[in-house]
């Protein structure tokens, strides 16, 4: 047993206890760890790789834990691990919570989809969905888990019943759900995106008809669009665009507009020593943003949402999604709790689909 303590005093005190267990004792981790735990403090088991679902050592360890934390994007055999995870939900004790870091990474996608249906006049669209399309990066069955999670989340929330599903060459998946008297078609396809890790989502599309009106929602991550020709800058600001496409230009233009408003509020205190002009006379009509290299870290995760309803002109919204590393996701899970019934239902529906494809 090795015990490590912080070298200096800090706001958070902790001990790191390492147990080196070999032989038959490895099958009885619970009794070895239980005396080391602090009474009244939740215990989280963070499994770094693929948990050994179905084996005694995992179930023995879970008896003394309040939650199992894992990252399904790192499962070595994603399909078999997902099957073991779905079985664990049915046999684990009631107080055991499950937390998946990949599910947390999908939050921005789920929020973007849910926000479309939030206005009261769009609620009927939920019962009119007829198509769901998802693009994901990478090849192979295991890279479809993220897409299956989104599908399972919608199917569980809207009461869709899986009828049939099949997979084809090139990572294509076609599934058909029954929603009342309607059929919902679900399609996955694999796309090549150099900046995305295998399994990450690239785009989600939802379409349908309700009340005689058609609707279509498209959410794309870091979409490829033709560059905008550079313009001669009349207002030199320090706001790099992070790209030559419309998303980068729009995000930087917002910062430039804010900068311009701040300058306008403080014109009386400015001295234009460089030009010799009186305050305010050299101020341009509109802010201009420099176009730099195509991709930078500040716009690496841009979401472009396009909404089309009936004959109305398409609505377009660009937002920048902050990158969250593993430590940030873990802290968020510990702060918000791991008993997520929505995740459990979505997981079961996701495995139902994965089992058929």
Is the pLDDT at 334 greater than 50, yes or no? yes
Q: 12: pLDDT confidence band, cut at 50, 70 and 90?
A: low
The predicted structure's pLDDT at residue 57: 80
Give the pLDDT confidence of 19-41 residue by residue, as tens digits.
Answer: 888 888 777 888 888 888 888 88
Of 73 and 188, the structure prediction assigns the larger pLDDT to 188
Rounded Cα gap, residues 322 and 328, in angstroms:
11
Can you spell out the DSSP letters for 211-229? TTEEEEEEEEES---PPPP
Across 315-335, average pLDDT? 85
State both tokens at 212. Answer: 């005689």
Query: What residues contact residue 225 under an 8 Å CB cut-off, 6+ apart?
Result: 245, 246, 247
The predicted structure's pLDDT at residue 263: 60
Rounded Cα gap, residues 126 and 128, in angstroms:
5
% residues pLDDT > 90 (the chain):
40
The predicted structure's pLDDT at residue 349: 95
The predicted structure's pLDDT at residue 298: 42
The predicted structure's pLDDT at residue 162: 97
Nearest to 225 by CA among 337, 134, 304, 341: 304
The predicted structure's pLDDT at residue 227: 59
Neighbours of 316 (CB within 10 A): 14
Is the pLDDT at 119 greater than 90, yes or no? yes
Residue where the block lists tokens 């233009």: 253
| pTM passes above 0.95 | no
Give the pLDDT confidence of 51-76 residue by residue, as tens digits.
Answer: 988 888 888 888 888 899 999 988 98
The predicted structure's pLDDT at residue 25: 79
Is the pLDDT at 271 greater than 70, yes or no? no
The predicted structure's pLDDT at residue 217: 97
Rounded Cα gap, residues 172 and 134, in angstroms:
10
Contact in structure between 239 and 229 (CB atoms under 8 Å): no
Q: 234: pLDDT confidence band, cut at 50, 70 and 90?
A: very low
Find residue 319's DSSP bridge partners: 303
Of 29 and 129, the structure prediction assigns the larger pLDDT to 129
The predicted structure's pLDDT at residue 284: 44
- Secondary structure letter of residue 114 according to DSSP: H
Find residue 99's DSSP bridge partners: 69
Of 283 and 73, the structure prediction assigns the larger pLDDT to 73
Angle separating helix axes 107-116 and 145-158, nearest 10 degrees: 40
In Å, how far are 107, 123, 191, 286, 332 from 114, measured between CA atoms?
10, 10, 24, 35, 21
Neighbours of 2 (CB within 10 A): 8
% residues pLDDT > 70 (the chain):
75
The predicted structure's pLDDT at residue 4: 57
Strands (E), the chain: 2-4, 16-18, 44-46, 67-70, 97-100, 129-137, 161-167, 173-179, 182-191, 201-210, 213-221, 302-309, 315-320
Nearest to 124 by CA among 219, 218, 215: 215
């Amino acid at each position: 047993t090795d015990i490590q303590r912080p070298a200096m005093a800090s706001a958070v005190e902790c001990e790191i206890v390492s147990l080196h267990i070999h032989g038959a004792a490895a099958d009885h981790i619970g009794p070895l760890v239980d005396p080391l735990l602090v009474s009244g403090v939740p215990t989280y088991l963070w499994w770094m790789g693929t948990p050994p679902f179905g084996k005694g050592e995992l179930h023995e360890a879970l008896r003394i834990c309040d939650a199992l934390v894992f990252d399904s994007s790192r499962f070595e055999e994603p399909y078999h691990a997902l099957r073991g995870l779905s079985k664990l939900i049915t046999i684990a004790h009631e107080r055991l919570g499950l937390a998946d870091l990949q599910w947390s990474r999908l939050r921005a996608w789920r929020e973007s989809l849910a926000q479309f249906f939030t206005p009261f006049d769009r609620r009927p669209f939920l019962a009119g969905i007829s198509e769901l399309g998802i693009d994901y990066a990478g090849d192979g069955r295991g890279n479809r888990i993220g897409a299956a999670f989104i599908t399972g989340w919608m199917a569980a929330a809207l009461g869709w019943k899986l009828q049939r599903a099949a997979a084809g060459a090139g990572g294509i998946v076609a599934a058909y759900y029954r929603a009342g008297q309607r059929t919902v078609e679900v399609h996955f396809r694999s796309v090549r995106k150099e900046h995305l890790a295998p399994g990450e989502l690239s785009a989600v599309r939802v379409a349908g008809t309700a009340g005689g009106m058609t609707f279509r929602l498209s959410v794309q991550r870091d979409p490829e669009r033709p560059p905008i020709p550079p313009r001669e800058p009349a207002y030199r600001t320090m706001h790099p665009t992070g790209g030559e496409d419309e998303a980068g230009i729009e995000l930087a233009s917002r910062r430039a507009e804010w900068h311009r408003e701040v300058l306008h509020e403080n014109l009386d205190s400015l001295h234009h020593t460089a030009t010799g002009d009186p305050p305010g006379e050299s101020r341009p009509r509109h802010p201009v943003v420099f176009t730099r290299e195509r991709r930078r870290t500040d716009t690496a995760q841009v979401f472009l949402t396009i909404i089309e309803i009936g004959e109305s002109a398409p609505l377009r919204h660009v937002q920048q999604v902050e990158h969250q590393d593993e430590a940030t996701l873990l802290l968020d899970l510990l702060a918000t709790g791991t008993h997520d019934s929505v995740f459990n239902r979505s997981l079961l529906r996701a495995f139902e689909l994965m089992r058929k494809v």
